[in-house]
Structure formats: structure tokens, C-alpha cells
Structure 1
């Protein structure tokens, strides 16, 4: 099948653009956004799996300690530029600068008309390549950007006023990433990893930190840099390295507080402190969700929702381990706001985790 974009000289294989260039069933292409201010945080996910012929998406919002989500999944449209599934639609108004997101699910208590506008240029994170045993677990490219949201959100008919706009992070990623039920072969050992991601807004700059570590603390992916706000504001300033020091909340695998030691190329070291304000469960966007997990076939179109009090969730249940915490940041005399994403699977000796799912003591 040919699509309009086949008229552009952008092909990477002999196949038309609507045809996936490889046969990996875990090939995916995802939009992901969050939006936040000190009293709320929301997230948006939209993903296509061309070799599974599936598209899915979700919108989730946390306010006053309660999280509400709507999920949609269906058959992928033959034209991959059709970025809609059920009540969830993503529009590319200006590539790498402006997106519009529509959520039209009043029967599930969620309606939104949001416009994302970039505040920075986009950055390409280091390629994420990981194996479980001899099997490819993840091979992905991710592009990150900071911005702001304008528009409106309604929760159970009550309008959430975004005022003059709230902070946003955008993540576009593609490649291959294993999901639940990702293979029918012999079982592998479960993945063991510490993943941290901290995109932070300050007044004039944004801070980016990403790390994947093995249980022994060795790093297999890392990125740390300062990104100036404003289009065409110059190349990001890389940091030499960042060390994490996390005070884990007792009985959980999430931070009670965190400090990042940022090492600059000139040898100077600064402390970036993170104070958690709220928790956003990533299962609200399908990550690790036992029903609405990514890339699962439900029907030609299936839509569902859920809501829960965050304090009622068992923190060590596998589907509740992956979180983003809304955090207040202090660094170099500046105050900022952002998120600290955390996934801790398996033992990690440095922090005293000894089994796959034990909590902090």
C-alpha cells in the first residue's frame, strides 16, 4: 500500500513506508507526553505495532491523590499517518514543535483538547540496546523535548483550568521493545534493571538525566545534559557524569527523596535535590498493566477505563513498580519542576535490595 509520504525521498528499505522494514513482532513507534504543575500530573501514550497490526493509546491524570485513566486498543489503520484509536487522537501540527491531543471519552469521565508547544529543540538520547540472555530485549531510539501545554481537561465533567499553560515533556521513540507475552519460546530469566529518568524544567534551561544499570551498579546506558530553552538556542551542554543517591521509602521501591550529583567537564560538582510531590502510576498508560499492557490484541476496537486512590495500591505489586514522581528540584540556586521516573526490578546491592521484589528497609 502506498501513502502520501511515499512521495518523499525518505525510504530506508525497498518497501513502501506503510510496510515495516523488519519482521520483529516487538517493533513499535510511540508518542509519549506528560504535563504537570505542582497540583496535578497527566500522561498520554499512543503507539503502533505494525507487525502485530495493533494500535493502542491511553490518557491518565492524577489529581488530589486519585488517578483516572482511559485506554483504547484496536486494529492498526493501513495508513500509519492515521494517528487515532477510538477516543484518542494525536495530531502533528508542526513536526518537532507542535502537537494537538484530543481525548473524547465523556462516558469514561475524561475529555481533553490540548496543544503541546515545544520550549526546546529536540535531543536524541543514546540508543538503548539490551539483551536478556541471548535474546534482544530492547533496541530503541528516543527523542526527548521539553514544552508546555495549553487547552483544557475535564474530569467527571469538572474542568481543570490549565491557566497560562503548564510544563510538558515529550518523548518519541521507536525500535523494538519487548512487552508481556513477547515470545512463545522457552522462558528467559526476568529482566533485572534500575532505570531512572529525570527531565526537569528550570526557568531558562532544562536538565536531562537517564540511566540504565545492572544489579551490580554497572551502567549500560547513560545521558546527562543541559538544554537551553528557546528554538535554535544552541547545542546542549553535556555533563561529564551524574551519580544518584536515593532514599527509598520503607516497604517500597520508590524514592522518598533523591539527590543527583552532577559532574561538569571542568571538574565542578553540584547537588540537584529532588523532593517528590505526587506519584503517577505508569500502568495508567499501559506500562505493565495486566489488562491494558502494550501491544495486546483486544478486539477491532476496545475502550476501557479505571480509577483508584493511589494510597490504596500495594506498592510492591509488579504492575505498580513503574512510576513517575512529580518532583520539585533545586540546583545551582534554581528552583524547578519535573519528574523522576523509576523502575527497579531485581536485586540491587548498593541500595540493599536482595531479591526480585523486596521493599526498602
Structure 2
């Protein structure tokens, strides 16, 4: 056991040095996620940075969809003993004001994507229900996550084009997650070999003028809810309590022969309130699992060890030429409408394997 600078703060939760987490599960993670867009189909930037204490790794990525470009820059290094150090090669995250303001930087590099962006929360950071998923004897997911909508300022550079980012136009969603979920090198499947698990997922933080609706749900192959939450959170300048919106019902419309969502309706039934529906339109789909580490590609996965030296890589795909490589979860810039309110945010969806809606 060894100390780190974090040990000088009175924040310990278990009788361990702060570099050691309470769980010895190899899959423990502590991650940042951000997205940034101008409320249109022009561009979407997705950023992630994670630490994997029991694997001794930290890594980061940025993925931009701009015109016909799907470009990823990614980096990895050994974690070391200082978990307050969020620099991974050209990436870094700076907490300027906890739960309110952060700075996210990708320094100029050889791969044609860089940025310097400051995040300002529009609503209080909101904790979601604990996400627990067990498959047979194994806990696959046991994690917590906070979500927040907000505004961006700074700049993004894609190729030779420098794009000004102003808070009047550029919005986004961030989350922080920590706990257990599959990361690192693949494990032997054992008894799980041949399991045909369904994964029906919706994550839709929607930012309107003075409030945000946060909606998340996951169902298994039989349509049973594994996770759900639906709340309306008011902005900092609104003296109103968070509202519970009841059980959300998700009704997607898919492109023929695919599981790509062309539109959707999410229905809410607040207890004691008037039911309402939000109409959702994906404006710019981004396949966030492609080359970023979220997917199951063998060469680069979140938490995978790449050796003692800092590794930085870049990958570029062009659409529609590389359309067959775009698979898995979609993070789309979403337009949301209800009761005269028009907002923008994230429409993240994935429908994998069997589910009653595909019967």
C-alpha cells in the first residue's frame, strides 16, 4: 500500500489508501463522459476519460462526427499512484468548481482533432438510481452515475477548421459514473458462453429553456425493467423542486430492416399530474462504440493495458464509405418537443438481441 496526494484530504470512506478502492473487482471504473453540440446536425463531439484502479490503467478518447467524418483520438497510460492526475497524453480534465464548472482539453496532436472547452452546468448535478445487473452468479454492473445538462464555451479544431464554441448556442450533457462494469481485456466466458442476453437501452437527458428532463431505462430480453428513472430538474435560477415523472414508456420507430431509430415518443405519467408525451428526433447519430473503447474490439477497450509508455492513436472513418463499420450504441444529438417546449440533448439508444418489441 502506498500514499497519494489525495490522502491529504479528509475524504476516506474505507480503511485503505485513496489509490485503492473498496472493491477488488477488476472491473471497477471511475469515468467522465461529455458531449458537445450546437443543437443541430452540424457536429457532435463525445469525450471520455476513465480510471481503472484495479487494472492500473487510465485512458481517454474523443470522437467527433462532422460532415462525413467520424474521427477518434485516444490515449492510454499506466495509472500510477496519483488519482488526482487526470492527464492522459494530450487529454486532461480540470474540475474548476465541483459539480458546476469543468475544463476539458485535447491538446494539438497529429490526428486532426483538438479542443479547449469549458463546461457550465445548467441544472444541479443529479444522481441516478443505482444500476445493478446480475447474470447468473456474476455481478456484471453495480454502479452509480450523476447526470447534468449545461453549456459550453471555447473552441474545437477539426482538421484545419477552427470552430468557435459559445454558450449561447452550444449545449451538451455530462455524466460521472463509478462502480463495476465490464472493462479491460476480455475474460473467459465460462458458464456465460452462449448466453443470449437482450439489451434494450434508452438514455435521454433533454435540455429545455429553464428545465431538463432526465430519462433512462433498460429492459432485458423479456422486457423486464432493469433500470428506470424519469425526473424534471429545474435550472439554478428556478426555485422549484425536482419532479418525479413516473414510469417512462419508450416507443421508438426504426428504419426498415434496422434498429436505427428515426423518431421516438417517450410518454410520462407524473403521479397526481397530467400525462404528457415528448416527441424525439435524432438529428445527428454518432456510433459512440466505434474505435473509442466502449465497444468490444479486441485492440482497444476501456481499461486495456497498452504497456508502460503513454500510447496515443488516431482513427478516421468516412461516411457513407465506412457505414458498415458503424455499429452498436448510438449517441445522437436529439431534438425534443412537448407542450410548446423545444429542447435539445442526447438520444442514446441501443437494441441488442431479443426483445418483445421485435417479436
User: What TM-score does the superposition give when structure 1 sets the normalisation length?
Assistant: 0.92
Distance 1:232 1:85, change over 3 A: farther
The answer on whether the counterparts of 1:121 and 1:232 sit within 8 Å (CA) in structure 2 is no
Aligned partners of 2:27 and 2:184 also within 8 Å: no
Identify the range of structure 1 (338-347 vs 135-144) with the bigger mean alpha-carbon deviation: 338-347
Counterparts of 2:135 and 2:7 in 1: how far apart (Å)? 36
Cα distance in 1, alignment partners of residues 333 and 19 from structure 2: 37
Q: Distance in 1 between matches of 2:327 and 2:132?
A: 24
Q: CA deviation at 1:162?
A: 1.6
Q: Distance in 1 between matches of 2:11 and 2:197?
A: 35
Segment of structure 1 superposing worse, 253-262 or 291-300: 291-300
Indicate conservation of the 8 Å contact 2:6/2:82, yes or no.
Answer: no
More deviation, 223-232/198-207: 223-232
Show CA shifts across 1:85-119 (max 9, x none): 11111111111111111101431111111101111
Does the 8 Å CA contact 1:27/1:51 hold for their aligned counterparts? yes
- 1:192 has 2:198 as partner: yes
Task: Give the number of equivalent residue pairs.
Answer: 350
Please list the CA deviations of residues 134-193 of structure 1 after superposition, one character each: whole Å capped at 9, or x if unmatched: 111100000001111100110112101223451021100000101364433615125421
Find the residue that maps to 1:288 and give its secondary structure: coil
User: Structure 1 pair 348/126, CA: closer, same or farther in 2 (3 Å)?
Assistant: same
Measured after TM superposition, the shift of residue 71 of structure 1 is 0.5
Q: Does residue 128 of structure 1 match 2:135?
A: no
Match of 1:241, SS state, is coil
SS in 1 for 2:174: strand
SS of aligned partner of 1:347: coil
1:303 Cα offset (Å):
1.0
Q: SS at 1:311's partner residue?
A: coil
> How many Å separate the matches in 1 of 2:304 and 2:216?
28
Aligned-residue Cα RMSD (Å) equals 1.8
Pick from 171, 176, 179: which aligns with 1:172?
176
SS at match of 2:289: helix
2:37 equivalent in structure 1: 36
Looking at structure 2, the residues matched to 217 and 190 of structure 1 have their Cα atoms a distance apart, in angstroms, of 14
Structure 2 unaligned blocks of 5 or more:
none
Question: What corresponds to 1:343 in structure 2?
Answer: 350
Give per-residue Cα distances to partners, 1:284-331, cap 9 Å, x unaligned: 53210513221111222211111212434456x6x7111112111111
Task: Give per-residue Cα distances to partners, 1:30-53, cap 9 Å, x unaligned.
Answer: 011111121211111000000100
2:329 aligned to which of 314, 322, 327: 322
Counterpart check, 1:138 vs 2:141: yes
Task: Name the structure 2 match of 1:294.
Answer: 302
Structure 1, 151-160 or 295-304: larger mean CA deviation: 295-304
* SS of residue paired to 2:7: helix
Residues 268, 65 of structure 1: CA spacing in aligned structure 2 closer, same or farther, 3 A cutoff? farther
Q: Is the CA contact (8 Å cut-off) linking 1:132 and 1:191 kept in structure 2?
A: no
Change (3 A) 1:169 1:233: farther
Q: Check the 8 A contact 2:108/2:114 in 1, yes or no.
A: yes
- Which residue of 43, 56, 66 maps to 1:63? 66
